[in-house]
Amino acid sequence: MAIETELRFQLDARQARAVLGDPKIAAGLQRRPLSSIYYDTADFALAQRRAGLRLRRMGRRWVQTFKCELPDAPDHRRGEWEWPVPRAAIDFDLLAETPLGDWFAKPRNREALAPAFETRFTRSSALIQHGATAIELAVDRGSVIAGEQSEPILELELELKDGPVDGLYEFALAMNRDHALMPEPRSKAARGFLLSTGAKPGPRRAPKLQLEADATAEQAFVSVMLNCLAHLQGNAAGVHRGDDDPEYVHQARVALRRMRSTLVTFRRAIPRASSDSLSSEARGLASALGAARDLDVFEEGTLQPLAAAGHATRLVGAFERLVLLRRQAQQQAAEALSPPGYTAFVLHLLRWIDAAGWRAARVEDPPPALPADGGRDANTRNDRGDRGDRGDRGDRNAEGDGVPAERAEVRRQKAGVRRFAADTLDRRHRAVLAIGGRPSALDIEARHELRIAVKKLRYAAESFASLNGAKAEKAAGTYLAAMARLQQSLGTLNDMATAERLVSPGSGGPFEGAIDEAGLALLAGWRLGLCTAVLEDADRAWNRLRDAGRFW
């Protein structure tokens, strides 16, 4: 088996010409037509297993290729098995050595395999030597075809052929600086699968996460971070192109928050000094999406319900101002998830994960300097920790006196993830309960602190929910449902506070002057009535969470 390490980027015609016209690349260019037939069953059994089987024609030769994802590996790193074959027919004997060898050995599965879609494109490629690293650069132009449907292909691939992987990232970052490249997380096989099923791409929730019970804490950390990155990349393109569906912004923002929460959750195993810069970058991206999200929530949760209740004429000025503000906020969000800045963030994160950059960081190294505002804003001021984790921050020697901090970190990284998860969830759960009591009995500051603590607990619980097997599945579902209900209620209360800041007179808010006094009174009455109902719901959710059995 070979391990394919490949980075893909979207191109437009101008970028393609610029890349191929680069003197360092043009001198070694080779062009050749390639066509591939991808095989799967009618119910796409291989695609569901994140695997692909193809026959590719290269001139007069045929090559059979099987690819599949690897445990704890990002989408750009896959297992690859490739063999020359004499004709355009699958040789099942060759597939016996792959991870799906038993599946391919069953006659019914062999009989069910049939051509699902094709790709036809011209590849312009060159071998690039970047220091000690050999990289194949390829620009592919053509189409993916499924029956009567087709979709254009125009992309750049950078594949590691030899040498250290760090050179691949250095070269990709340089190319991004020169050409502002947008990542393309979907392989040609994934695009063909969508085309052949007729599925329409849309906002993407977090992919299902399955952690291995015998994994180490470090392996679990990598899996969760890559899951967060896949979640982000599944929505970034929609934000970048300014899609009207507000869920793209929401899911991208959730992915960035999950990412930052994961860095906090695993900070006893992964030293914070090694991840502060990434956390800061993720916070900046999430902040840039905040205005668009706030406006979407204000419209959906306040303006639209009031308009439906017959108050549209009173809010005409608010709706008119909303159009202008949304255009500005969407542009800001699109710029945040655009190259070269967004792409550099993705490459820095993948580079850090591939190189296990946290192992080189020493606990006593000072973290990078924060921005002038301390790196916090009103919505993230408690992200550095909660009551249950305050002991983590200065704990340089959690293993006891006389044990070097670096050795303690290694032990925690290599510790079994089930014990690590149980300890983490215990702390998170206690932190939520320690804030104290039903939400209706808390002041605004305490409710904000509770919301942050619940969010951290939920993200951690979702990450670790698969570790205890089917027996704990029902208990985990009950616990997660109670927590989701409480988080939703607390989030609604926070959204109402945000709405008040948007419209309050004299505050300099974006809607100031767009709503008359009668309209402001209407909005205030709406918030008051809604707040009472939501607090009652939050209290019920709190009771359910308090009484829910722990699943770990």
Query: Could you tell me the CATH number of the domain that includes residue 42?
Result: 2.40.320.10
pLDDT at 404: 61
State whether 108 and 179 are in the same domain: yes
State whether 140 and 248 are in the same domain: no
Ranges in the chain, pLDDT < 50: 362-402
- Residue 367 lies inside a defined structural domain of this protein: yes
- Residue 437 lies inside a defined structural domain of this protein: yes
Task: Report the domain count for the chain.
Answer: 2
Burial of 301 (0-12, 13-18, 19+ CB in 10 A): middle
State whether 153 and 245 are in the same domain: no
Read off the pTM.
0.88
Within a 10 A sphere around the Cβ of 476, how many other Cβ atoms? 22
Do the Cβ atoms of 522 and 499 come closer than 8 Å?
Answer: no
State whether 30 and 172 are in the same domain: yes
- Residue 523 lies inside a defined structural domain of this protein: yes
pLDDT at 492: 94
Report helix angle 473-503 to 276-298, nearest 10.
Answer: 70
CA distance 470 to 467: 9
State whether 66 and 20 are in the same domain: yes
Domain that holds residue 181: 2-197
State whether 185 and 324 are in the same domain: no
CA distance 79 to 68: 5
